[in-house]
Chains A and B, each alone.
Chain A
Amino acid sequence: DQQVKQNSPSLSVQEGRISILNCDYTNSMFDYFLWYKKYPAEGPTFLISISSIKDKNEDGRFTVFLNKSAKHLSLHIVPSQPGDSAVYFCAAASGGSNYKLTFGKGTLLTVNP
């Protein structure tokens, strides 16, 4: 049973526009959520996170929104740039310091110049 779901395998947007990547989760024990970005031939790198006590976290062009009642989070990238083209993984955690991350399947974002 997949606890973290990214239902869109791919997304294509134009440079300068907004990219919205979505993620749903089923486990109500998750209390921390993260987005990772992965380029080919590299490991995933941390992008942005949000605690379940918040509904929004912003870092430059990246904003993550959390809707706990819907068990849904989204990553907004504004404006999108060609260098943002990568696979984006949504991840969720529970268990405090000794946690392990559960990942979604990823969404391939392509930003066209």
Chain B
Amino acid sequence: QQQVKQSPQSLIVQKGGISIINCAYENTAFDYFPWYQQFPGKGPALLIAIRPDVSEKKEGRFTISFNKSAKQFSLHIMDSQPGDSATYFCAASRTSGATNKLIFGTGTLLAVQP
């Protein structure tokens, strides 16, 4: 129940295309869903996050779509650029808990080809 499932494992997109990464969770107590971007040799960096009271959140070229009934959420990267090439992790957390620990998905390696 603590798992967050992420797909695809890897993704190749042409420059200017749309990258879509999907995640699913089981624990309905989760109420905070961030996406982290990680470049090789670096720590994860928060990209965008959403709470389940909204169905979509957009920040620049990055959009999270959230489907509470299906317990799924996805990251859309519009106009993908070579600089977006990185590993993307979805995560989930229960902010009412004592720790707010993050449960991460397995990651998606995105390669944007010029």
Chain A partners chain B? no
Taking Cβ atoms with an 8 Å cutoff, the residues of A that contact B are none
Residues of chain B whose beta carbon lies under 8 Å from any beta carbon of chain A: none
